[in-house]
Chains A and B, each alone.
Chain A
Amino acid sequence: MPASPQKNELGSLRWRDLLQFAGGSLRGHGLRTALSLLGVMIGVSAVVILTALGEGARRYVIEQFAGLGTNLVIVLPGKTETTGTIGIGGVPNDLTLDDALAIERQVRSVRKVAPVTAGTEEVSSGDRRRQMPILGTTRAYIEVRDLRMERGEFLPDEEMFRGGAELVLGNKAARELFGADDPIGTIIRVGDWRFRVIGVLAQQGTNLGINFDDVAIVPVRTGMRMLNRSSLFRVLAQVRAHSDLEIAKRSILDLITERHEEEDITILTQDAVVSTFSQILDTLTLVVGAIAAISLSVAGIGIMNVMLVSVSERTREIGLLKAIGASGPQILAAFLVEATFISAAGGLLGLAVGWSAVALLVQVYPALPASPPVWAVAAAFGLSVAVGTIFGFLPARRATRLDPVTALSRR
């Protein structure tokens, strides 16, 4: 006869046996288990999908700004308050080409300056014509915005004031105006003005609200005259190194304030803009995720219900377990494991479903870089498991408190 431990301990139930016991009883009532599992699954997949969308929005915005390049300082005319409206400082002075030139010449930390004017005009070539965004800028722009050419050249490298009649077309704009023909060297009209096409941009998509596929770029001076602008839309200044960013901001602000005799410009950097948007969208993701998480507690109530039914159906079994020497903690553990099993399995399924849905979404809308943040995935799964354990506790405790004599006397 093998040595049998006459005094074995109470906590002696093995994990594997516990799981097997709980798993067996779950299989015993499959439909009920499946339904409560479904509740958890929906909750968890909702968290995954919604936070993925939030995170996608955040990344989308960041990518847009990232296109600016990290070493960029943007100078806007007008003093923008934090609310984004122009303050009480009255009409701001124009931001002029002279200002842009001064920045380029006098601010040492600045490497390149691209003044920008913007508007919309009718562009026509032969009998094809269409309304199109017009950008006026200089050669520096191609470097500062990191644009690529498909053919021809970007604007010539000349001083800002010359005002030539060269024009660079966006990729789609070129196709729509010229079809398969090569537009290089062709004369086209913008409003009443005539330009010679010298280049076509490679396809680049939208960045910061400018669709570079559908645009016509002309020398800044010409652009200002044609669009009848006295002030630049903005000035882009590229600094030599990222560490120069703060100094550059300060120097530009001081310089322009001195020139205008008041502080009437706004200076943005990518870092500041991105971090503001990022914070807003992070909060949004968190809130949306939290709302989805509430559905998990509804699922928890479902689990509690199922477990209560299970306990009352298995009254005799619980009585028997007590009679054969299962301890209160062991019975509690068995029922808790069952509830947690439901929620954990539902949680895993929810992760799978959520992830698949997000993957599908990205397939359909590749522009949206949706992906559930790790914290949300971890929290959703952790919460689902916790929900099972917490909501399973009351039924499990009810099981341990059953009087074995009454339980066994049931037929």
Chain B
Amino acid sequence: MSQAATSASPDDAPRRVIRLDGIHRTFEVGGEQVHALVDVDEEILAGEHVAIMGPSGSGKSTLLNILGCLDRPTAGTYELEGRSVDELSTRELTLVRRNQIGFVFQFFHLIPRLTATDNVELPMVFAGIPRAERKQRATEAIQAVGLTNRADHQPEQLSGGERQRIALARATIMRPAILLADEPTGNLDSKSSKDILDLLDGMSERGLTLLVVTHDPKVARRADRIIVLVDGRIAKRVSGDRISDVLEILAED
């Protein structure tokens, strides 16, 4: 399985896949304005592994939803692969979600009535990929997450860790360039968490751009760098091995 290539730019510097410029996201709640994101600037390079940390309510999920084109910023520009997302039509946004971005959630969001294989196949179903190719790719992806013997199980017959591995197979089945994970280990025991993190590391090594929202220092430590959000603003940027520098900010949580 190969991820979208980290093609080198002419001067051999890594390509920029995401650029955020002055992103604001404001919600109206009962006539009051909630500023979930305030003036966020950021650049993410192809193949980077980035952890997003911060106290709860600091805007991590909101940021991820905007990056995943599930939500639009109130102000600011978001450029994905050099294209401004604000200018994309509904139709183009759907195609971006389908082909360029994979999502993993804390609560897995597998469809309960479908088997593991059928869940993994689902994005390909809506992309109109022929049945035979779907079966083959789903089988490979399930094998890659080590669950071949669970392929015909329904989600409720799987453990939390197994569910998240299936969700991971589903998120990457369309070979997206970017994977967004919102607290992927938030609901797992430490053994299952480690399995997931190992899988994510492997994907990252093969060139997938990875953004992981997490509370867990063990998760964040594996990232190339860490972004810390506080009250919707980027409060700190450190490299993954400097995790200790941000722990005091998070301790308030």
Q: How far is the CA of A12 from the CA of B133 in the complex (A)?
A: 15
**B99 and A324 contact, CB distance less than 8 A:** no
Q: Which of B119-151 contact A (CB under 8 A)?
A: 122-123, 125-129, 131, 133, 136-137
Q: How far is the CA of A8 from the CA of B103 in the complex (A)?
A: 19
**B97 and A24 contact, CB distance less than 8 A:** no
Q: Mark A13-25, 1 if CB is under 8 A from B, else 0.
A: 1101100010011
Count of residues in A whose CB is under 8 Å from the partner chain = 37
- A362 interface hit (Cβ, 8 Å): no
Q: Which of A97-105, A279-287, A315-323 contacts B (4 or more CB under 8 A)?
A: A315-323
Best-surrounded residue of B113, B126, B128 (most CB of chain A within 10 A): B126
- A88 interface hit (Cβ, 8 Å): no
Q: How far is the CA of A243 from the CA of B68 in the complex (A)?
A: 82
Q: Which of B51-59, B104-112, B224-232 contacts A (4 or more CB under 8 A)?
A: B104-112
Q: How far is the CA of A13 from the CA of B127 in the complex (A)?
A: 6
- Chain A residues whose CB sits within 8 angstroms of the CB of B131 once the complex forms: 16-17
* Closest B residue by C-beta to A326: B126
- A69 interface hit (Cβ, 8 Å): no
- Chain B residues whose CB sits within 8 angstroms of the CB of A322 once the complex forms: 70, 97
- A7 interface hit (Cβ, 8 Å): yes
**A325 and B94 contact, CB distance less than 8 A:** yes
Of the candidates A2, A9, A319, A404, the one whose C-beta lies within 8 Å of that of B128 is A9
Of the candidates B71, B91, B123, B170, the one whose C-beta lies within 8 Å of that of A327 is B91
Q: Mark A197-221, 1 if CB is under 8 A from B, else 0.
A: 0000000000000000000000000
Q: How far is the CA of A16 from the CA of B132 in the complex (A)?
A: 13
**A10 and B70 contact, CB distance less than 8 A:** no
* Closest B residue by C-beta to A328: B90
**B133 and A321 contact, CB distance less than 8 A:** no
Q: How far is the CA of A80 from the CA of B123 in the complex (A)?
A: 77
- B206 interface hit (Cβ, 8 Å): no
A2-B133, A408-B109 are contacts. A324–B98 as well, Cβ < 8 Å? Answer: yes
Count of residues in B whose CB is under 8 Å from the partner chain = 36
Query: Shortest Cβ distance from A403 into chain B, in angstroms?
Result: 8
Of the candidates A6, A7, A324, A404, the one whose C-beta lies within 8 Å of that of B126 is A324
- B65 interface hit (Cβ, 8 Å): yes
- A330 interface hit (Cβ, 8 Å): yes
Query: Shortest Cβ distance from B186 into chain A, in angstroms?
Result: 12
**B127 and A12 contact, CB distance less than 8 A:** yes
* Closest B residue by C-beta to A25: B113
Q: Mark A31-44, 1 if CB is under 8 A from B, else 0.
A: 00000000000000
- Chain B residues whose CB sits within 8 angstroms of the CB of A13 once the complex forms: 125-126, 128
Best-surrounded residue of B99, B133, B170 (most CB of chain A within 10 A): B99
Task: Tell me what chain A mostly uses at the interface: helix, strand, loop, or mixed.
Answer: helix
- B34 interface hit (Cβ, 8 Å): no
Of the candidates B2, B127, B175, the one whose C-beta lies within 8 Å of that of A325 is B127
**A24 and B114 contact, CB distance less than 8 A:** yes
- A405 interface hit (Cβ, 8 Å): yes
**A404 and B70 contact, CB distance less than 8 A:** yes
Q: Which of B41-98 contact A (CB under 8 A)?
A: 61, 65, 68, 70-71, 90-91, 94-95, 97-98
Q: Which of A113-134 contact B (CB under 8 A)?
A: none
**A8 and B71 contact, CB distance less than 8 A:** no
**B95 and A10 contact, CB distance less than 8 A:** yes
- Chain A residues whose CB sits within 8 angstroms of the CB of B127 once the complex forms: 5, 8, 12, 325
Q: How far is the CA of A322 from the CA of B126 in the complex (A)?
A: 10
Query: Shortest Cβ distance from A296 into chain B, in angstroms?
Result: 29
- Chain B residues whose CB sits within 8 angstroms of the CB of A10 once the complex forms: 91, 94-95
Query: Shortest Cβ distance from B87 into chain A, in angstroms?
Result: 17
- B174 interface hit (Cβ, 8 Å): yes
* Closest A residue by C-beta to B111: A317
- Chain A residues whose CB sits within 8 angstroms of the CB of B1 once the complex forms: 1
- Chain A residues whose CB sits within 8 angstroms of the CB of B126 once the complex forms: 12-13, 321, 324-327, 330
Query: Shortest Cβ distance from B189 into chain A, in angstroms?
Result: 19
Q: How far is the CA of A28 from the CA of B2 in the complex (A)?
A: 36
**B97 and A27 contact, CB distance less than 8 A:** no
A8-B127, A9-B128 are contacts. A325–B111 as well, Cβ < 8 Å? Answer: no
Query: Shortest Cβ distance from A326 into chain B, in angstroms?
Result: 4
Query: Shortest Cβ distance from A333 into chain B, in angstroms?
Result: 10
* Closest B residue by C-beta to A12: B128
A10-B95, A408-B105 are contacts. A21–B125 as well, Cβ < 8 Å? Answer: yes
- Chain B residues whose CB sits within 8 angstroms of the CB of A319 once the complex forms: 109
Q: How far is the CA of A330 from the CA of B127 in the complex (A)?
A: 10
Q: How far is the CA of A5 from the CA of B98 in the complex (A)?
A: 11
Given contacts A1-B2, A10-B94, A324-B170, 19 further A-B contacts (CB under 8 A): A2-B133, A2-B136, A8-B128, A10-B95, A14-B125, A14-B128, A17-B125, A17-B131, A28-B112, A316-B109, A317-B109, A317-B111, A323-B109, A324-B103, A324-B174, A325-B123, A326-B94, A326-B98, A326-B126
Ordered by A's residue number, 17 sampled pairs between the chains whose C-beta atoms are within 8 Å are A2-B133, A2-B136, A2-B137, A7-B99, A8-B127, A8-B128, A10-B94, A24-B114, A319-B109, A322-B97, A324-B174, A325-B94, A325-B123, A326-B94, A327-B90, A405-B65, A408-B105
